[in-house]
Amino acid sequence: MKIIAVTDDKMETSQLLHTLLSIESSIDAAFLREKSKTDSEVIALIQQLIESGFDSTKLIVHGRTNVASISGIKKVQLPGNDAPLALLKKQYPVISFGRSVHSLDEAETAYKAGADWVLYGHLFETSSKVGLPPRGTDELFQILESLPIPVYAIGGIQPHHLPQLNQGGVAGIAVMSSIFGSDNPDIAATAYKDASHATTS
């Protein structure tokens, strides 16, 4: 099961750079979800990461296909209400796209439009979705049974949830607050990595 760290748009660039480098060995990918930063700032962050030795194949740009294309990044995570997927795939044929979904219907629509993976959430209570009821795992498992593409989960997921999710066939989990909101992001990321390895051993 893959571990994906999702940046929370609360760090300035130098701190974010340091944090991403410190957790790289424990994660399989990183969504760069920096909504408040300009395109040029995200491009600069990507360049600094790569120059510092971060594996560029682990980087996934959130929402900004132009930034990914300019930076040579081959994966983009699209919000649920983003541009039409078929159009983006035609414009950027070398880029793989994931779509954020919140229901089985949305997941099936994304797959039919050409999504290479989907990200479903939020599963459990999380500080980033205060006041919104969690969706739980029932519909997630329906999506897993319905789609032939990788399905990832996000939202309040803790290391102890991984055995249940792995048993259901989830391709991986995406984690934001538990890593980037931690005083020790590297230790937090390692806990997920260890839990992930335990599910497959």
Q: How confident is the model at residue 28 (pLDDT cuts 50, 70, 90)?
A: very high
User: Mean of the pLDDT values across residues 112-122?
Assistant: 95
Instruction: Considering the candidates 18, 102, 122, 161, report the single residue annotated as catalytic.
Output: 122
Task: Inform me whether the pLDDT recorded for 34 exceeds 90.
Answer: yes
For residue range 41-78, list pLDDT tens digits in order.
999 999 999 999 999 999 999 999 999 999 999 999 99
Task: Inform me whether the pLDDT recorded for 105 exceeds 80.
Answer: yes
- Total tally of structural domains belonging to the chain: 1
Task: Inform me whether the pLDDT recorded for 17 exceeds 60.
Answer: yes
Range of 116's domain?
Answer: 2-200
Q: What is the dihedral of CA 187, 192, 195, 197, to 10 degrees?
A: -100
- The DSSP H or E segment spanning 18 is helix 13-23
Across 11-15, 93-97, 114-118, 125-129, least confident range: 125-129
User: Mean of the pLDDT values across residues 18-45?
Assistant: 97
Which pair of structure tokens corresponds to residue 95? Answer: 């880029």
Average pLDDT score, the chain: 93
**Helix, strand, or coil here: 65?**
helix
- CATH classification of the domain holding 83: 3.20.20.70
Which pLDDT belongs to residue 200? Answer: 61
Q: How confident is the model at residue 113 (pLDDT cuts 50, 70, 90)?
A: very high
Task: Give pTM, 2 decimals.
Answer: 0.93
The two beta strands, 172-175 and 151-154, are: parallel
CA 162 to chain centroid: 16
Which pLDDT belongs to residue 121? Answer: 92
- CA dist 44 to 50, 60, 123, 140, 177, Å? 10, 15, 33, 36, 24
Cβ–Cβ < 8 Å for 155, 175: no
Q: How confident is the model at residue 127 (pLDDT cuts 50, 70, 90)?
A: low
Task: Inform me whether the pLDDT recorded for 111 exceeds 80.
Answer: yes
- 122 is an active site residue: yes
For residue range 75-95, list pLDDT tens digits in order.
999 998 777 898 999 999 999
More confident residue, 197 or 193: 193
Across 51-55, 120-124, 140-144, least confident range: 120-124
